[in-house]
Amino acid sequence: MASAKRKPAPAELLVLEDFLPYRLSILSNRVSRAIAARYAKTFDLTIPEWRIIAVLGRQPGLTAKEIAEATEMDKVAVSRAVARLVSAKRVQTRADVEDARRQILQLTAQGESVHARIAPIALATEEKLLRALDARERRELDALLDRLLVAARDL
């Protein structure tokens, strides 16, 4: 009688260190920690606050809900970060003329100044990371990330 093939145990099937979502998370966390340390020290900003400044720097006039959707950040984290940025006078709010319940956000002059100073630091950090790849690999990475982002919508 032929022996039945043994079914692999779940622990054998999932090697966390090789699991793409885990690897992407580790990469993201490492980069975010490095950036967060710099932004916190130099600008007294958290990562959510920086992301809000970055989004409003390119798209003024969004609501907190729209920022949460654009960045895929938690609505509560966005709300808290917006409150801190308003308190620090880096973001200002105004009621939407069509719906007074909606608060339209935009950078203040101080927020714009922070954006102008922090953007080159962010780009330099990205460049430093991407030095590990040649030009062809960078293009391939961009294309692969675009495809994975589309595929992730269907998960």
**Domain ranges in the chain?**
16-153
Res. 152: pLDDT tops 60:
yes
**Nearest Cα to Cα of residue 15 among 6, 23, 4:** 23
Contact 48, 80 (CB under 8 A): yes
What is the DSSP-derived secondary structure letter of residue 45?
Answer: -
Give me the mean pLDDT over the 132-149 stretch: 96
pLDDT value at residue 11: 67
Whether this prediction's pTM lies above 0.75 is answered by: yes
Give me the mean pLDDT over the 79-97 stretch: 96
pLDDT value at residue 2: 55
CATH number of 16-153: 1.10.10.10
**Nearest Cα to Cα of residue 117 among 109, 106, 128:** 109
Q: Residue 38 burial by CB count (10 A; 0-12/13-18/19+): exposed, middle or buried?
A: middle
